[in-house]
Amino acid sequence: MLTRKQRELLTFINVRIGETGVSPSFDEMRDALGLRSKSGVHRLVSGLEERGFIRRLAHKARALEVIRLPETAALDNHKSHQKHPAQRTKPLSASAVTNFKGHAVQLPLHGQIAAGTPIEALRDPNNFVDVPSNMIGRGQYYALTVSGASMEGDGIIDGDIVVIEEGLQFENNDIVVALVRNEEATLKRIEAHNNRIILRASNLDFPPQEYAPQDVSVQGRLVGLVRKY
């Protein structure tokens, strides 16, 4: 799933390449989307690259290639997983990954969260999912569906349902739901260093994201996930 800005940027890049044969500059992308700085463009481009919609061509300036458009996302996403079977099957831990049959409790399922670059958090008060009762404690919990590949190094793959304990507290290297700039949510390992917040993917193909502390608020920490086969 793409945010509105990601979809607008992908369309702009695709049209410009079709018209001129050359991808637009970051300044042109910034102006086309009405953004205030190129840092926002870099984040959107990284998000499109992480999701497999575009590719940066090495050793060339202004070299972006559109690989697919949203209408073909489902088919291509399935193919991409076939290419990396080792990453798909790496377990998070014996207790955290559960394909369960037995006593369950219902948690609110608040929509999709990116395991890649942040996407807009979706909340649906009418959606629920069953999770094992022994996975949760006395706190408040909710569930989210993972979208993206950046946490595959921790055994968290696209389509998994992660169970989140609500709360603001975290320790360095916890996997958390982080709300970025009060509008976009992401699942990442978090570190706080030298008045900066670093959100790290466990897939080394995805670079760390660094923010000022006021730009990030923790919405909860990962306690487990449910995978349906």
| Residues with active-site annotation | 150, 188
Residue with tokens 């998994």, as numbered in its chain: 160
166-204: b (≥16 Cβ within 10 Å) or e: eeeebeeeebbbbbbeeebbbbbbbbeeeeebbbbbbbe
Residue pair 27/45 in contact (Cβ under 8 Å)? The answer is no
Q: At CA 50, angle to CA 47 and CA 55, rounded to 5? A: 100
Q: Across the strands, what pairs with 120?
A: 184
Nearest in space to 62 (alpha carbons), one of 5, 93, 24: 24
